[in-house]
Amino acid sequence: MIWVTPDQILTAAGARIPASAADTEWAAACAAAVNEGFDFRLTGALYAGTPAELTWAARSAGVEAYKRREATFGLTGFVDLQGAAIRVARDYIEAQAPIIARYATFGLA
């Protein structure tokens, strides 16, 4: 299923439009990865239509994946209240896990 498109990622990430070929290619790779990740995590889930919450979550995950290449050594360039550098998550879908869990049922037969 198509949860997010490369154009949606580019727009949400604030990329210059029209985007360069490299940015478009990167956004396409990010969209494909997010779409496959959401499909995998939602395998067997029952829901009607395409929930807006999941579409929003996919777009957020796509932007996080897209922005990763700007995070030198995994650092976002921001610090938390204690002054510690904030790192990107290892799994760009991890922040969306609670939203996905509302729709996916794990461990039930």
Q: pLDDT tens digits for the chain (109 residues)?
A: 999 999 999 999 998 889 999 999 999 999 999 999 999 999 888 888 889 999 999 999 999 889 888 766 555 555 556 666 556 657 888 889 899 998 886 655 5
For residue 48, being part of any structural domain is answered with yes
For residue 82, being part of any structural domain is answered with yes
What pLDDT, on the 0 to 100 scale, is given for residue 85?
A: 56
- The answer to whether the CB of 26 falls within 8 A of the CB of 53 is no
Count the domains in the chain: 1
Two structure tokens written together for 75 = 């650092």
> Which DSSP symbol is given to 42?
T
For residue 109, being part of any structural domain is answered with no
What pLDDT, on the 0 to 100 scale, is given for residue 78?
A: 53
**The domain containing residue 88 runs over which residues?**
6-101
Two structure tokens written together for 25 = 């290619």
> Which DSSP symbol is given to 96?
G
Torsion angle in degrees (nearest 10) through CA of 3, 51, 92, 98: -160
For residue 1, being part of any structural domain is answered with no
What pLDDT, on the 0 to 100 scale, is given for residue 42?
A: 92
pTM over 0.85? The answer is no
CA distance linking residue 33 with residue 45, whole number of Å: 19
For residue 19, being part of any structural domain is answered with yes
What pLDDT, on the 0 to 100 scale, is given for residue 46?
A: 80
